[in-house]
Amino acid sequence: MSADSKPLVECRGLVKTFRLPALAAGPGSREFRAVDGLSLAVYPGETLALVGESGCGKSTTGRLLLRLEKPSAGTVTFEGRDLAALSAARLRTQRSRMQMIFQDPYGSLNPRLTVGAALAEPLRIHWRLSGKSLRERIAGLLENVGLRPEHARRYPHEFSGGQRQRIAIARAVSVNPGFVVADEPVSSLDISIQGQILKLLIELKKSLGMAMLFISHDLAVVRQISDRVAVMYRGRLVELAPAGELFSRPLHPYTRLLLSCVLAPRPGRKGAPPDIRSPEATGYRGFGCSFAGRCPLEIAACTRETPELRELYPDHYAACLVAGGKPLPDISR
């Protein structure tokens, strides 16, 4: 992003450790890191996409950034303030500036509340609206997301999936949040509806000036909506770049595989998707590159050195010992 803007949301060294269920734990560690030392900044007004295959830690990262979960280590700041240092009351106020849109709009809407009541809740709590101003705000929100004011009297089950997602979006943006985490917001929708919802999100983002972390495993969708893209693999960032740059010049072998759609599960070691929770199964020992064993460009150093994110081109970072330059000398022989 531009050098003069300050991050809106920033995490440093973010770690989230989960305990393994007894069966998955195997003989070694009974814990695994769903998020493993992640540092990332989201700038005001931008859409940063977070991509990677299932289980790599995208949703956990989103929840940590909104402090819906506590990190095991690391910090999250919003406008420079450490969220962990806020009192419960301040955190509640802060929450109105940080909202989430979920994959399943039905699950995120209370089936017993009319749409009007669902939209009223955050407006009453955070903006203390009531009466006519509340009704007008609700009507305006419904129109902003392509619905009609009279829809406020209906219940979620009376709407289609796409309409329900519009309602969930209206609720998330109702109190003008600076930051929204949209976690696979179109994945459960028909392709024909996906485009409409993406268009709506793009329009709202522009008109409200909010920043968005857009979580998705679908690169075609990400391409349409993002300003920058962060690629995640096994709890770590492996590449971060402006969207055009990432799609035209992907540097990390994992990103390149993702883009060429050849990550379908195959038998054998290389190419088989690892179970992030099972280091024993993948041979990953907590050091070296976590993509080693699956990487077509692997060199001997990859199992010994943990690659850090390096800026290989302006604003384009990759965590790979080989990408963007000559391979490191092989010192194993």
* Interface residue list for ligand ATP (CB under 6 A): 18, 34, 52, 54-60, 217, 276-277
- Give CA–CA dist 147/139, Å, rounded: 9
Q: Which does 185 bind (CB under 5 to 8 A by kind): ligand SF4, ligand ATP, Mg ion, none?
A: none
When asked if residue 297 is in the footprint of ligand SF4 (CB under 6 A), the reply is yes
When asked if residue 66 is in the footprint of ligand SF4 (CB under 6 A), the reply is no
Residue nearest to Mg ion (CB): 59
When asked if residue 239 is in the footprint of ligand SF4 (CB under 6 A), the reply is no
Positions 47 through 76 that interact with Mg ion (CB under 5 A): 59
Do β-strands 179-183 and 211-216 pair in parallel, antiparallel, or remain unpaired? parallel
Q: Which amino acid is at 92?
A: R
CB of 301 to ligand ATP, least distance (A): 28
CB of 227 to ligand ATP, least distance (A): 21
Q: Which does 57 bind (CB under 5 to 8 A by kind): Mg ion, ligand SF4, ligand ATP, none?
A: ligand ATP
Q: Which does 289 bind (CB under 5 to 8 A by kind): ligand SF4, ligand ATP, Mg ion, none?
A: ligand SF4
Positions 265 through 284 that interact with Mg ion (CB under 5 A): none
Site string for ligand SF4, 100-129 (x = CB under 6 A): ------------------------------
CA separation, residue 88 to residues 24, 66, 80, 275, 322 (Å)? 35, 14, 18, 36, 46
Q: Give whichever of 78 and 291 is closer to ligand SF4, judged by the CB atom.
A: 291
Site string for ligand SF4, 243-282 (x = CB under 6 A): ---------xx-----------------------------
| Residue from 292, 309, 316, 317 binding ligand SF4 (CB under 6 A) | 292
CB of 74 to ligand ATP, least distance (A): 15
Residue 210, number of CB atoms within 10 A of its CB: 24
Point out which span in 121-129, 157-165, 242-250, 295-303 binds ligand SF4 (CB under 6 A).
295-303
CB-hemisphere CA count at 13 Å for 163?
Answer: 14
Contact 183, 172 (CB under 8 A): no
Q: Which does 171 bind (CB under 5 to 8 A by kind): Mg ion, ligand SF4, ligand ATP, none?
A: none
When asked if residue 50 is in the footprint of ligand SF4 (CB under 6 A), the reply is no
CB of 60 to ligand ATP, least distance (A): 3
Contact 180, 212 (CB under 8 A): yes
Question: Given its phi and psi angles, is residue 288 left (phi above 0), alpha (psi -120 to 50 degrees) or beta?
Answer: left
- Give CA–CA dist 307/288, Å, rounded: 7
Backbone angles phi, psi at 145, to 5 degrees: -100, 15
- Give CA–CA dist 258/159, Å, rounded: 35
Q: Give whichever of 241 and 295 is closer to ligand SF4, judged by the CB atom.
A: 295
Point out which span in 30-38, 104-112, 179-187, 284-292 binds ligand SF4 (CB under 6 A).
284-292
Angle at 260 between CA 254 and CA 265, to 5 degrees: 70
- Give CA–CA dist 222/110, Å, rounded: 29
Using CA of residue 308, residue 312, residue 318, residue 320, what is the dihedral sign? negative
Kindly provide the b/e burial profile for residues 88-114, where b requires at least 16 CB atoms within 10 angstroms of the residue's own CB. Answer: eeeeeebbbbbbbbbbbbeebbeeeeb
List residues near ligand SF4 by CB under 6 A. Answer: 252-253, 289, 291-292, 295, 297-298, 302, 307, 320-323
